[in-house]
C-alpha cells in the first residue's frame, strides 16, 4: 500500500493507495483518519484502486490557515482526482465523510460515478439529541481553549464540520445524479427518519438499515457491509 502526499494549495493531503481497477475514494468520519477503513481497504483493493484519504485537518493531512469548510474539502477532492488523472470516481463516505460525499456529489455531479454513504446526515438535527449535545459541549470547550491554543482552535473547526458548517439543503440532495447507496445501523446516532428522508431526496438511491448495528456498522459487521457495498458497486443501476 503506497503512502502519497498531494499538494493542495499551500498544504499537503495524505492518502493511502492500494489495488488496481476502477477508482474508489474513501472518506473517513470526523476526528478519524484512513485507518477506520482497514477492512474495506483489504477487501476492495482486490478489484478496485482504493484511495483512502485523510481529509484536511485530519490524520497526516495539513489543516491550513483558512477556515475549514465543506467547500475547501471538496476542492481538495478535486485536487486528488486531478493528481490521479481521474475524470470521475466512486466515493464511500462514513459519518461526516458521508456528509462530505453528499456535498461533493451535489456540487460536482459530473465527477461522481457512485456514492455510498454510511451513517450520514445532511442536517445537524439528523443527529440524535444526546449526540448533538456532545458535539455542542465539545465545540464550546474548544472555543474557549482556542483563544489560547492554536491546536484547540483547529480542533474546534474540525468539530464544527458537524454543526455550523453542515450546510446541505434538500435542494442540494435532489440534484445528486449518481446512483447512491444509503446505509445506516438500526441503532445509529442518526435518526432513522432522517436517514429515510435522505433516501427519499436522492432519486437514484437505495436504502439499507442494518439490523442490530450501531453507527460503526462497517467496522462491527464489515463482512456484511463489504458484500453489500460490493454488490452495489458492481451491479447495474437498479433502484426499488
Question: How remote is the C-alpha of 123 from its chain's centroid?
Answer: 14
Cell of 49: 484502486
pLDDT digits (tens, 9 = 90+) for 68-78: 999 999 999 99
pLDDT digits (tens, 9 = 90+) for 192-219: 999 999 999 999 999 999 999 999 999 9
Cell of 39: 477492512
CA distance linking residue 213 with residue 169, whole number of Å: 27
Q: What is the pLDDT of residue 240?
A: 47
CA distance linking residue 48 with residue 112, whole number of Å: 15
Sheet holding 48-54, edge to edge: 2-8, 11-18, 48-54, 22-27, 89-94, 112-118, 180-187, 205-214
In the block, residue with C-alpha cell 445509529: 188
CA distance linking residue 149 with residue 5, whole number of Å: 27
Each as own residue / partner, the long-range contacts of residues 60-66 (CB below 8 Å, 24 or more positions apart, any chain) are: 60/5, 60/14, 60/33, 61/11, 61/12, 61/13, 61/14, 62/11, 62/12, 62/13, 63/11, 63/154, 63/157, 64/9, 64/10, 64/11
pLDDT digits (tens, 9 = 90+) for 112-137: 999 999 999 999 999 999 999 999 99
Question: Residue 129's CB: how many other CB atoms inside 10 A?
Answer: 9
Which residues are within 8 A (CB) of 197 and not within 5 positions of it... i.e. 6 or more apart? none
- Which residues face 12 on adjacent strands? 7
pLDDT digits (tens, 9 = 90+) for 215-228: 999 999 999 999 99
Tell me the mean pLDDT in the region 138-166: 96
Write the DSSP symbol of residue 190. B
Amino acid at each position: 500500500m503506497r503512502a502519497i502526499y498531494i499538494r493542495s494549495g499551500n498544504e499537503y493531503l495524505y492518502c493511502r493507495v492500494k489495488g488496481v481497477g476502477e477508482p474508489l475514494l474513501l472518506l473517513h468520519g470526523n476526528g478519524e483518519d484512513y485507518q477506520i477503513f482497514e477492512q474495506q481497504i483489504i477487501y476492495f483493493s482486490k478489484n478496485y484502486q482504493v484511495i483512502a484519504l485523510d481529509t484536511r485537518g485530519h490524520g497526516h493531512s495539513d489543516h491550513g490557515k483558512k477556515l475549514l469548510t465543506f467547500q475547501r474539502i471538496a476542492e481538495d477532492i478535486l485536487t486528488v482526482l486531478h493528481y490521479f488523472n481521474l475524470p470521475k470516481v466512486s466515493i464511500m463516505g462514513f459519518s461526516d465523510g458521508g456528509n462530505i460525499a453528499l456535498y461533493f456529489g451535489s456540487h460536482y455531479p459530473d465527477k461522481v460515478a457512485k456514492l455510498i454513504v454510511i451513517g450520514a446526515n445532511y442536517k445537524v438535527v439528523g443527529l440524535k439529541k444526546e449526540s448533538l449535545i456532545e458535539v455542542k459541549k465539545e465545540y464550546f470547550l474548544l472555543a474557549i481553549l482556542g483563544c489560547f491554543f492554536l491546536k484547540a482552535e483547529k480542533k474546534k473547526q474540525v468539530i464544527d464540520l458537524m454543526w455550523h458548517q453542515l450546510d446541505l439543503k434538500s435542494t442540494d440532495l435532489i440534484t445528486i445524479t449518481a446512483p447512491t447507496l444509503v446505509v445506516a445501523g438500526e441503532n445509529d446516532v442518526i435518526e432513522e427518519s432522517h436517514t429515510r428522508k435522505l433516501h427519499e431526496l436522492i432519486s437514484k438511491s437505495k436504502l439499507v438499515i442494518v439490523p442490530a448495528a450501531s453507527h460503526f456498522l462497517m467496522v462491527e459487521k464489515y463482512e456484511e457491509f463489504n458484500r453489500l457495498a460490493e454488490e452495489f458497486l458492481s451491479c447495474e443501476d437498479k433502484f426499488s
